[in-house]
Amino acid sequence: MEKTYNPSAIEQKNYQNWEEKGYFKPHGDTSKESFCVMIPPPNVTGSLHMGHAFQDTIMDTIIRYQRMQGKNTLWQMGTDHAGIATQMVVERKLFAETGQTRKELGRETFIEKIWDWKKESGNTICKQMRRLGTSVDWDRERFTMDDGLSAAVKKVFVDLYNDDLIYRGKRLVNWDPKLHTAISDLEVESKDVKGFMWHFRYPLADGALTADGKDHIVVATTRPETMLGDTGVAVNPEDPRYQDLIGKNIVLPFTNRLIPILGDDHADMEKGTGCVKITPAHDFNDYEVGKRNNLPMINVLTFEACIRDEAEVFNSMGEKSDDYSTELPKQFQGLTREDARKLVVSELDALGLLDEIKPHDLTVPYGDRGGVVIEPMLTDQWYVRVAPLAKTATEAVANGDIKFVPQQYENLYNAWMSDVNDWCISRQLWWGHRIPAWYDESGKVYVAHTEAEVRTEHNLDDSVKLTQDDDVLDTWFSSGLWTFSTLGWPEKTMDLKTFHSTDVLVTGFDIIFFWVARMIMMTMHFMKNEDGTPQVPFKTIYMTGLIRDENGEKMSKSKGNVLDPLDMIDGIDLESLVTKRCGNMMQPKMAKKIEKQTRKAFPNGIEAHGTDALRFTLAAMASTGRDIHWDMNRLEGYRNFCNKLWNASRYVLMSSEETPCGFGDDAGNEMQLSLADRWIQGQMQTTIKEFRHALDTYRFDLAANILYQFTWDQFCGWYLELTKPILFKGSEAEQRGTRHTLLNVLETLLRLAHPIMPFMTEEIWQRVKGVTGLGGESIMIEPFPEFDAKLVDEKAVEDLEWVKQIIMAIRNIRGEMDISPKIPLNLLVKNASDDDQRRFTENQAFLSALTKLESVTIVAEGETTPVSATALVGELELLIPMAGLIDVDAELTRLSKQLEKAQKELGKISGKLSNERFVSNAPEAVITKERGKQAELQTTCDKLSEQIETIKAL
RNA sequence: GGGCGAUUAGCUCAGUUGGGAGAGCACCGCCCUUACAAGGCGGGGGUCACUGGUUCAAGCCCAGUAUCGCCCA
């Protein structure tokens, strides 16, 4: 074995081997329990970031753990077409390369371009995942736009339409004026901004006057430009100031449109002037007010959010209407909403109708993709009626069929579910599932899987011209079907029967509404058990936190602080990293800042750490319910851990190669286990138990710590050192026993660690197999270790803990007295019990090897002893004669420090025990324990004081 | 405004029926000892955000305050 762990030499070859051998596939034995995890499909044209690496690590750990327990295990791989994101990327690429827009290219050609790009970039993710060691079944890889999933999408749409759960309607939607598409309310991000509240005077019609004799009322608005579409003014029906005006009219400036004053609770008497202008076509609240009061709706904006040349007038049902003129004042036509706002304000001012302008804090909706202000827009869109679906989905969580880990996310889920809007699923994009709806020339809509089906079902011959809806479905519509569409639905496949419901979903809390909730709703509506009860998509949802950068900032391309998991694995030099981060910037001026930041954070670039170290770090940091601050130091620490395990294995293999180890031909020969052998076996078992519990409860951080602690502190720190005296000086039977144990424990440890660190455990396991001659093709299909109580030897644990204490006490003297490890020591012991004496006799070899003792002499009570440095183990006194070398001051300091510590602790405990209420209330066991501690500490203090006196007397 | 979460060592974080404050990294001292200097041995370091309450006993339970973060309106 190489002296230093070198991940690059072992990772890829092992992965290739696993994949070739088909270990990632379900073994297909359906008599065994099945286990399935669905990958949250990453964007096919994207690349994986640290968040993906994190989730993939968790999923792979879960999957490997279950697979090793013999289950018929499937980790389903696949990618998402990511409608708007992908379309934007390809559009930008097209423009950069050819200067063409997608419209110039035409729909069909443009979609071909996207498919080309998908082919080209789709491999990026697969390559990354292979490097991460993910054991997904590659042969089953799916794509949300492949034929099977497209068929599922069509069927779901048609069925929901027929069940009246999908409808089409003219509604106010969130419109992205940059991307020219509707988006769902989830895709809108509200931001707080400082703006203004404008107060306008609206003249009353027909000479009406207000209660205080004015010929106008004052309305307040944050969006002056929308006044061109006003169709009413609302006042509170209880408001004494305006009550009398209800039913009267206003002459709207510029258009001279006559609009009514109406009473509606939406108008808040306390807020602003108490009068609210109502623009049903451009504001969600006003839309509701308009509907309640049968107000016409006037759309004054184009899809680019500019003032139209001619308005569109609808009645409150959304039908074309001639209630008002469509005329719009010339000076506003074609202006952007921003310019229109300025002009409206200045012209109203000129007319003497601007009452005042007040600074105002408001929240403004932005599109999460395009980044521009969203415009509420009156358009025809398709919607899913969510409420009936949400009911079942809510119950599944309430009754425990679906569990969130951590549980607190249930609240979030419930809160959203109980107050959910209908889901706008149509998008004015080209990339996505085309809506299976056709229109005849009169605009009548027909929904079916194909045009042919429409014609058959409705007896329409070829003379009737049908046009398919231009729009596509929201990406989340198809990913909402992910758990069952990937398993072959709508066909009744064996896979569905075997793997659905799936077991665990691992995903980020940020897509709990976008994806998780919708997946639950869709799945429970379409997937039924034989008795008709709904199937849940998954039984457990493990929610991960976000991975943030070293400063706790969210990682994003625009901030330039993203990390590529492959750079953690392979390393990258500073210049390449800077280029990578600053290239392709949307805002080139950010590049300088990002470069500076990067050079500061990674002055020497990034070293290679290997996949196992990366995975171990991610697992170790995966505490539930909180975000992760990425920390390169942790990664480095765990890389060192990998090296530690590597070298421990190297030691085990070097000590046992071509020597009798009790395996193969040598099995059955006399084998004697040392105290250390028996001890480590027990420790291994305890570790197995704890580790399994951690994995079973999704505590990957605890699992990683348990593994780390056992490997480094117990196995390497104590056990390997304790094997040395035996391997160097023990009898043949003892050596065989120790080698056997070394190999056994290492082999078990490797299997235990495999789910988290697959590569090095396989590499080493294959070599261990070479020595033991035991069978098995690959560690990844070996059984996962199980706890065996018979292997825990309590007496061995007690004896070895004693040995450790003696060793630590002597090391403490060496360390603090600055005695070179080269100088052999002679140990005198006083006050030794029978057990102590036995232990000294039995463990001489261990003691002298680990502390370089030359001799141990039991001193009788009362016998005089030479000047010594001393230590206590319980009541046992250890003396190291210092024969003229003693540094009196150093020894006094050392003992005083210990005495002070002991006295402090003793004071605390004595205080407790002298408290009568403690003694009368605390459980017996606690009191006994405290009394024991008190006695022990008392002895310690007495002995230390004695020793201090002795030293002082010199 | 409503809801959720966080606050523990210099940093990143554990602490699961309330009963001896922990880990990794960083720090200080010694050591290239035949698995590993990506190491070994020894050591220092915390008013568990704050206030009050429950309890014999609170990092943990309850109430409130502060700061930070996220979600919703």
SS (H, E, C) A879-899: EEECCCCCCHHHHHHHHHHHH
Q: How far apart are CA A685 and CA A788, in angstroms?
A: 6
Å separating the CA of residue A806 from the C1' of nucleotide B21: 25
Q: Could you tell me the pLDDT band of residue A884, with boundaries at 50, 70 and 90?
A: low
Contact A286, A227 (CB under 8 A): no
pLDDT at A345: 86
Per-residue pLDDT of A808-864, as tens digits, reads 999 988 888 878 888 888 899 988 889 999 999 999 889 988 988 888 899 988 888
| Spatial distance from the CA of A671 to the C1' of B47 (Å) | 56
Find which nucleotide's C1' atom is closest to A709's CA. Answer: B23
Give the CA-to-C1' distance from A925 to B18 in angstroms.
15
In order of A276, A287, A322, A515, A580, the CA distances from A231 in angstroms are: 11, 11, 13, 38, 54
The pLDDT value recorded for residue A182 is 84
For residue A192, give the nucleotide whose C1' atom is nearest its CA.
B73
CA distance A135 to A71: 14
Nearest nucleotide relative to A641: CA against C1': B38
Residue with nearest Cα to nucleotide B23 C1': A705
**Cα–Cα distance measured from residue A870 to residue A628, given in angstroms and rounded to the nearest whole number:** 47
Least-confidence region, from A308-312, A528-532, A662-666: A662-666
What residues contact residue A631 under an 8 Å CB cut-off, 6+ apart?
A550, A621
pTM of the model: 0.89
Return the closest nucleotide (C1') to the Cα of A654.
B35
pLDDT per position as a tens digit, A153-212: 999 999 999 999 999 988 888 888 888 888 877 778 888 788 888 888 888 878 877 778
Contact criterion met (CB below 8 Å) for A533 and A525 = no
pLDDT classification of A304: cutoffs 50, 70, 90? confident
The alpha-carbon radius of gyration of chain A (Å, integer) is: 38
Q: CA at A693, C1' at B57: how many angstroms apart?
A: 30
Å: A79 CA to B71 C1'? 27
Interstrand relation of A72-79 and A34-38 (parallel, antiparallel or unpaired): parallel
- Nucleotide nearest residue A608, measured CA to C1': B38
| Nearest residue to A354 via CA among A227, A194, A202 | A202
A816 CA to B31 C1', in Å?
14
Separation in Å: B51 C1' and A916 CA: 28
Q: Can you give the distance from the CA of residue A545 to the C1' of nucleotide B72 in angstroms?
A: 19
Name the residue among A310, A275, A312 with its Cα closest to residue A297. Answer: A312
pLDDT at A596: 82
Closest nucleotide over all strands to A915 (CA to C1'): B56
What are the two backbone dihedrals, phi and then psi, of residue A335, each rounded to the nearest 5 degrees? Answer: -75, 150
What is the mean predicted confidence (pLDDT) over A881-899? 77
> CB-side exposure of A775: number of CA atoms within 13 Å?
1
pLDDT at A68 over 80: yes
Nucleotide nearest A719, CA–C1', reads B35
CA of A815 to C1' of B31 (A): 11
State the pLDDT at residue A584.
65
For the CA of A62 and the C1' of B45, the distance in angstroms is 38
pLDDT for A275: 84
Residue A565: what are its φ and ψ, rounded to 5°? -55, -30
Element (H, E) at A233: strand A232-235
End-to-end CA distance of chain A: 55
Give the closest nucleotide to A905 (alpha carbon vs C1'). Answer: B20
Give percent of chain A with pLDDT exceeding 70.
99
Crossing angle, helix A700-708 and helix A675-696, to 10 degrees?
Answer: 170
The neighbouring-strand residues paired with A260 are A249
Tell me phi and psi for residue A298, to 5 degrees. -120, 115
Protein-to-nucleotide distance from the CA of A759 to the C1' of B31, whole angstroms: 34
At position A22, the amino acid (one-letter code) is G
Q: CA of A93 vs C1' of B27, distance in Å?
A: 51
Which residue's CA shows the smallest distance to C1' of B6?
A626
User: Nearest-CA residue to the C1' of B55?
Assistant: A921
Determine the pLDDT at residue A586: 59
pLDDT of residue A477 exceeding 90, the answer is: yes
- In the structure, how far is the CA atom of residue A711 from the C1' atom of nucleotide B35, in angstroms? 13
Least confidently predicted of A348-352, A496-500, A524-528: A348-352
pLDDT above 90 coverage of chain A, percent? 36
> Residue A633: which nucleotide is closest by CA–C1'?
B25
Q: What is the mean pLDDT of residues A930-948?
A: 84
B25 C1': nearest CA residue: A633
Nearest partner of A597 among A565, A574, A631, judged by Cα: A574
User: CA A716 – C1' B38 distance (Å)?
Assistant: 15
Nearest to A566 by CA among A48, A916, A1: A48
C1' (B23) to CA (A710) span, angstroms: 13
Name residues whose C-beta falls within 8 Å of residue A542's C-beta, 6 or more positions apart in sequence. A58, A405, A504, A505, A506, A507, A698
Say what the pLDDT of residue A853 is. Answer: 87
User: Which nucleotide is closest to the Cα of A921 by its C1'?
Assistant: B56
Which of A20-29, A96-105, A432-441, A569-578 is least confident?
A96-105
Q: So what's the pLDDT on residue A817?
A: 80
Taking C1' of B39 and every protein CA, the nearest residue is A644
Whether residue A293 is predicted with pLDDT greater than 90 in this model: the reply is no
Closest residue to B18 (CA to C1') is A922
Q: Which nucleotides of B are covered by protein (CB under 7 A)?
A: 3-6, 11-16, 19-20, 23-26, 29-31, 33, 35-44, 55-57, 71-73
Q: Which nucleotide has the shortest C1'-to-CA distance from A643?
A: B38
Question: Which pLDDT belongs to residue A885?
Answer: 59
Give the CA A122 to C1' B6 distance in Å: 38
Residue nearest to nucleotide B43 (CA to C1'): A816
- From the alpha carbon of A702, which nucleotide's C1' atom is closest? B14
* pLDDT per position as a tens digit, A139-161: 999 999 999 999 999 999 999 99
Judged by average pLDDT, the poorest of A356-370, A716-730, A731-745 is A356-370
pLDDT band at A361 (very low <50, low <70, confident <90, very high): confident
Q: Nearest nucleotide, C1' to the C-alpha of A816?
A: B42
Mean pLDDT of chain A: 88
**A677: number of CA atoms within 13 Å, CB side?**
21
Which string of DSSP letters, residue by residue, matches A257-316? EEEEEEE-TTS-TTSTTSEEEE-TTT-HHHHHHHHHTT--EEEEE-TTSBEEEEEEEE-T
Q: How far is the CA of A514 from the C1' of B71 (A)?
A: 14
Ranked by mean pLDDT, which of A242-246, A375-379, A756-760 comes out on top?
A756-760
Return the sign of the alpha-carbon dihedral for residues A17, A19, A24, A30: negative
pLDDT of residue A641: 93
Q: Which residue is nearest to nucleotide B42 (CA to C1')?
A: A815
